[in-house]
Each structure stands twice: as C-alpha cells, then as structure tokens.
Homo-oligomer: A and B are copies of this chain.
Amino acid sequence: MKSRVTAQHVADRAGVSRSAVSRCFGDGQVSDDTRKRIETAAEELGYRPNAIARSLTGRSTGLVALLVAEMDNPHVDIVLKKLLLAIAEADKRALVIPETPRQDVTESTMHALDYQVDAIVVVGGTVSDRVVGQLRALDTPVFQFGRQLAGLGGVACDSHLGGLLGGQFLIRSGRTRIAYVTKTSSTDSNQRRRAGLAAALGAAGLPLLEELSEDNSFEGGYNAATRLFARLERPDALFCFNDMFALGALQAASAFRLRVPEDVAILGFDDIPMAAWPAFALSTLRPNLDAQIARLMAMIAEVCDGAPPRRTVDLVVPELVIRRTAC
C-alpha cells in the first residue's frame, strides 16, 4: 500500500507553499491563479485532506458516536437507519458502538471516546443507567434518544401520552377489560406507557390487567397473550408495549380462534413497517421519528457550534394509527 498523498506533495507540484494548499481547502483567501494550480495539482495527485490530522488542531472531528443497544428490536433498526441517514445528511460520520454481550458497553464506549467524537447519542432503552451516568461525567456532549433520564438532553416519544391516548381510544371503542402486555425489564418508556394507560383507565373507573412477557420479541408477545386468553375472564383489549409483542399477540388470538377486533382489540406501539402489512394491519401508536431525529440533529449541530449541550428532553407526541386490529 503506497503512502497517501499529503498537502506537501500537492504544494510541491503546484509550486506553492503547503500553507497555500491548506488555505485552499479551508476557507482561507487564495488568489484565483494559485487556487487553480493547486486544484489541478490536487486533482492529478488524487489528494484529499486527512480528516484525522485536520481534527487534531483542536477542531471538531465530525464524528458522532451512536451507542445502540436492544438490537433485537426492529424499531431500533429503523431508528438506527434514520439516524445514519440524518448524520450523513448533516455531513458528519457515524461511529456505531453496539452493546456486545461479552464486552461491557462501558469499555467499548470509552474506546469510542478516544476518537474525540463531537457527540454521543444513546439509542434504545436498555442501555443501563449506570453507563449513561458514566458518560455524563465526561466532557463530551451526551444525548439520549427514546428515553427520558432527568438532566440529560435528548428527544423521546411522549410515552405517557401514548399510553393515555391508546387507553382512551380503547375505552371509547367500548372495551372494558383492557390488559397491558409488558416486558420484565422495566425500562423508562415502559413504565411511562403503563402509567399513561393506567391514568386513562383510572379516569374511566376501569381496572388495569397486566401480563409480563419473558422475552422482548414476537414469541414473548405470543406467550403472554396466550396466558391472557386462557384466563377465565378473557380481556377484550390488549395494549402491547411494542409492535413485536402485538404481532405475537395477534398470532395468539388467531390460535385461540378469536376474532380481531370483534372479540379482542390489539394495539401496538412504534408503527414498525410490518405493522402496515395487509397481513397484520396492526393499529398502533406512531412515534414521530422524523421529528425526533430532526430535533436531535439540531441539538448536535448546536454543540458542534460550541453551544453548551441541552439538558432537557424534547418530547414528541405520538400519533394514533388506526388500522384493523383495533377500531
């Protein structure tokens, strides 16, 4: 592998000083003549400024670290994709750090910080609060996506409101035995959704049934719903923590020969692409992802411009998407 061409090479070829090359690719003032010569020389040599060396001079690196956990959730996939696109659009680069089972997140993240990233975004609810706390102690701006830890800037879907809206909708459609299908690991958003639902039910004087899923996926939703349907007094509506649970519950309803939504209504959360498939036509709550990401990118742009990082969470209101499984 031949060594890369540096600004010095271009300078030599163009017969100017290296500073001129530097200014030409920066925002310095260069005469039209020399600019032309430098550009042709750079073109011929295939020169590209070394971003590593450039960022060494105290400036920003243009890197944004995405600390992403809960990668078994399709919704996180969508978030990740959209974040990647948004970061590329903002002319920055995404350094993605997955939560590995073997290696502790902390260690991976710390390694990422060695790259002087401009900001860290914590994606997904399952990153432990301890890790987030450690991150906050650093001087690198940290933002959270999809959680609402106090004192840490970020964006999130208003889970409480989502729970409330979903609950009110189910009540309006005449349901009286409403169950919440949740997961064992109680993340922040989980608790808020449950609280919102509980508020809606409480206002209507209805009880809140509940069923835990041992697993964070389709199978978990299937099993939890199966247990619910096997109860003596079967619920007539299932509000699921996320769409994957809801799809599993839908499958369980089919196994029980229950008509959806006549016998039982099923409501999800996230509006993953699959929810819109005609095979499922899942009613669900759609977090306005694009709005969330736009705000997050604005926060990142702020800190890149030297502003102190925000310390508040922007809540985005979810939207009720009514399809076939609850109406």
Identify the A interface with B (CB < 8 A).
1-2, 4, 48-53, 55-56, 61, 63, 71, 74, 77, 81, 84-85, 88-89, 91, 93-98, 100, 102-103, 108, 110-116, 139-141, 218-219, 222, 247, 251, 254, 274, 277-279, 308
A52–B48 Cα distance when bound, in Å, is 17
Determine whether the beta carbon of A222 is less than 8 Å from that of B278: yes
Contact present for B74 and A89 (CB under 8 Å) = no
Q: Is the interface of A mostly helix, strand, loop or mixed?
A: mixed
Are A115 and B52 in contact, with the CB atoms below 8 A? yes
Name A222's closest neighbour in chain B (CB-CB): B278
| Known contacts A88-B108, A98-B81; A251/B278 CB under 8 A | yes
- Hey, which chain B residues are within 8 Å of A53, CB to CB? 56
Residues on the B chain within 8 Å of A56, using CB:
52-53, 56
Please determine whether A111 and B91 come into contact, CB atoms closer than 8 angstroms.
yes
> Taking each of A71, A103, A108, which has the highest tally of chain B beta carbons within 10 Å of its own beta carbon?
A71
A52-B55, A251-B277 given; name 4 further pairs at CB < 8 Å: A74-B77, A85-B100, A93-B95, A218-B274
Task: Say whether A139 contacts B93, CB under 8 Å.
Answer: no
Pick the residue among B49, B61, B100, B115 that contacts A93 (CB under 8 A).
B115
Task: Return the 3 tightest CB-CB contacts between A and B, nearest first.
Answer: A51-B114, A84-B98, A251-B279
What is the bound-complex CA distance between A103 and B49, given in angstroms? 20
Set of chain B residues within 8 Å of A222, measured between Cβ atoms: 278
Please determine whether B93 and A111 come into contact, CB atoms closer than 8 angstroms: yes
- What's the least CB distance linking A47 to chain B, in Å? 11
Q: Which residue of B lies closest to A138 (CB)?
A: B46
